[in-house]
Structure 1
Amino acid sequence: MINSNHFLTAALGVLVSLTTHVEGQAGYHYFIIGSGGALAIERVDPLLSPGVASNHVHSITGGNGFKATMNFADTQSSTCTTMPVKIDKSNYWMPALYFQHNGQYTRVPEAYNRKIYYKSGGHDGSFDNRTAFPDGFRMITGNAKQRVYDDTLMGTGGTQLEWMCHGPDIRSSGFPTGFQNCNGGGLAAAMRFPSCWNGQDFNAQDPLAHMAFPTNADGMAGCRAPHNVARFPEIFIEYWLDVSQFDAIQKDYNDPNNPPWVLADGDPTGYSFHMDFFNGWETGALQKVIESCTSNFGDSTPCFDANQLNNGAAQDACRLQSIVTPSENVGVTGTAARGEQGGSIGSALPGCNPIQRTQPATIHAPGTCGAATQVGGGSPVAAGGAVGTDSTLPAASASIPVVNKANAIAPPASTSSTPSMPSTGSYGGSPKSVTVKDNKGSSETWTYQGCYTDLIPDRNTRSLANWGRGDSSTSCANNCYSAGYTIAGTEYGGQCFCGNTMTSTTKKDDSDCNTACTGASSEMCGGASRLSVYAKGGTTLNKRKSHMRRHAARHEVS
Structure 2
Amino acid sequence: MQLTLNLVATGLGLLAPGAEALLRFSCSQLVVERLDPLVNPGVVGTPHVHQIIGGNALNASMEYPRVDIPSEATCTTCTFAEDTSNYWTAVLYFRARNGTFKRVPQMPNAGFESAKGGMTVYYTPSYSGGKVTAFQPGFRMIVGNPTYRTEEQAKKFRQLTYTCLDNIMTRSGETLYLPKKVCKAGIMANIRFPTCWDGKNLDTADHSSHVAYPSSGTFENGGPCPSTHPVKIPQLFYEVIWDTRAFNNPADWPEDGSQPFVWSYGDPTGYGNHGDYVFGWKGDALQKAMDSNCNINCPQLKTQSIQQANQCTKQTVVNEDIDGWLTELPGGMPVTDATGKVIG
TM-score with structure 1 setting the length: 0.51
Report the Cα distance in structure 1 between the residues aligned to 2:179 and 2:284, rounded to whole angstroms. Answer: 41
1:363-512 aligned at under 5 Å gives the runs: none
1:119 aligns with 2:114: no
- The CA deviation string for residues 343-402 of structure 1, in whole angstroms up to 9 with x for no partner, is x2411001141110134689xxxxxxxxxxxxxxxxxxxxxxxxxxxxxxxxxxxxxxxx
1:320 aligns with 2:314: yes
Compared with structure 1, are the counterparts of its residues 59 and 121 closer, same or farther at alpha carbon in structure 2 (3 Å cutoff)?
same
Aligned to 1:366: none
Aligned to 1:166: 165
1:46-61 aligned at under 5 Å gives the runs: 46-52=37-43, 53-61=45-53
1:109 to 84, 101, 105: 105
Residue 208 of structure 1: CA displacement?
Answer: 1.7
Aligned to 1:245: 246
Contact 1:145 1:359 in 2 (8 A): no
Report the Cα distance in structure 1 between the residues aligned to 2:149 and 2:253, rounded to whole angstroms. Answer: 19
Aligned to 1:351: 331
Contact 1:68 1:323 in 2 (8 A): no
Report the Cα distance in structure 1 between the residues aligned to 2:37 and 2:194, rounded to whole angstroms. Answer: 20
Contact 2:190 2:240 in 1 (8 A): yes
Aligned to 2:12: none
1:205-354 aligned at under 5 Å gives the runs: 206-214=206-214, 215-216=216-217, 222-228=224-230, 230-248=231-249, 250-252=251-253, 255=256, 260-295=260-295, 300-301=296-297, 303-305=298-300, 308-324=302-318, 327-331=319-323, 344-354=324-334
Report the Cα distance in structure 2 between the residues aligned to 1:80 and 1:134, rounded to whole angstroms. Answer: 20
Report the Cα distance in structure 2 between the residues aligned to 1:138 and 1:304, rounded to whole angstroms. Answer: 26
Aligned to 1:502: none
Compared with structure 1, are the counterparts of its residues 270 and 281 closer, same or farther at alpha carbon in structure 2 (3 Å cutoff)?
same
Residue 175 of structure 1: CA displacement?
Answer: 0.6
- 4+ runs deviating over 6 angstroms: 217-221
Aligned to 1:176: 179
Report the Cα distance in structure 2 between the residues aligned to 1:103 and 1:28, rounded to whole angstroms. Answer: 46
Contact 2:76 2:84 in 1 (8 A): yes
Contact 1:148 1:359 in 2 (8 A): no
Compared with structure 1, are the counterparts of its residues 260 and 129 closer, same or farther at alpha carbon in structure 2 (3 Å cutoff)?
same
Matched residue type, 2:227: A
| DSSP 3-state at the match of 1:88 | coil
Contact 1:146 1:360 in 2 (8 A): no
Aligned to 2:77: 82
Contact 2:79 2:306 in 1 (8 A): yes
Matched residue type, 1:83: C
| DSSP 3-state at the match of 1:67 | coil
Contact 2:99 2:327 in 1 (8 A): yes
Compared with structure 1, are the counterparts of its residues 358 and 254 closer, same or farther at alpha carbon in structure 2 (3 Å cutoff)?
farther
Report the Cα distance in structure 2 between the residues aligned to 1:192 and 1:216, rounded to whole angstroms. Answer: 15
Report the Cα distance in structure 1 between the residues aligned to 2:159 and 2:213, rounded to whole angstroms. Answer: 10
2:68 to 73, 89, 93: 73
Contact 2:127 2:222 in 1 (8 A): no
Report the Cα distance in structure 1 between the residues aligned to 2:262 and 2:213, rounded to whole angstroms. Answer: 27
Residue 249 of structure 1: CA displacement?
Answer: 5.3
Aligned to 2:113: none
1:133 aligns with 2:125: no
Report the Cα distance in structure 1 between the residues aligned to 2:334 and 2:275, rounded to whole angstroms. Answer: 21
Report the Cα distance in structure 1 between the residues aligned to 2:225 and 2:32, rounded to whole angstroms. Answer: 35
Aligned to 1:197: 197
Report the Cα distance in structure 2 between the residues aligned to 1:43 and 1:314, rounded to whole angstroms. Answer: 26
Contact 1:145 1:272 in 2 (8 A): yes
Report the Cα distance in structure 1 between the residues aligned to 2:46 and 2:70, rounded to whole angstroms. Answer: 20
- The CA deviation string for residues 228-252 of structure 1, in whole angstroms up to 9 with x for no partner, is 1x21101111111111222235254
Which stretches in structure 1 are left out of the alignment for 5+ residues?
Answer: 1-24, 332-343, 363-558
Compared with structure 1, are the counterparts of its residues 197 and 78 closer, same or farther at alpha carbon in structure 2 (3 Å cutoff)?
same
1:45 aligns with 2:36: yes
Report the Cα distance in structure 1 between the residues aligned to 2:306 and 2:166, rounded to whole angstroms. Answer: 27
Contact 2:125 2:293 in 1 (8 A): no
Report the Cα distance in structure 2 between the residues aligned to 1:237 and 1:47, rounded to whole angstroms. Answer: 18
Contact 1:146 1:361 in 2 (8 A): no
Residue 294 of structure 1: CA displacement?
Answer: 4.5
1:100 to 82, 95, 103: 95
Contact 1:87 1:281 in 2 (8 A): yes
Matched residue type, 2:307: A
Compared with structure 1, are the counterparts of its residues 150 and 283 closer, same or farther at alpha carbon in structure 2 (3 Å cutoff)?
farther
Report the Cα distance in structure 1 between the residues aligned to 2:247 and 2:294, rounded to whole angstroms. Answer: 42
RMSD: 2.5
| DSSP 3-state at the match of 2:130 | coil
Report the Cα distance in structure 2 between the residues aligned to 1:354 and 1:255, rounded to whole angstroms. Answer: 21
Report the Cα distance in structure 1 between the residues aligned to 2:24 and 2:223, rounded to whole angstroms. Answer: 27
Aligned to 2:112: none
Matched residue type, 2:279: N
- The CA deviation string for residues 514-544 of structure 1, in whole angstroms up to 9 with x for no partner, is xxxxxxxxxxxxxxxxxxxxxxxxxxxxxxx
Contact 1:32 1:115 in 2 (8 A): no
Aligned to 2:11: none
Contact 2:69 2:84 in 1 (8 A): no
Contact 2:23 2:294 in 1 (8 A): no
Matched residue type, 1:260: P
TM-score with structure 2 setting the length: 0.81
1:33 to 24, 49, 58: 24
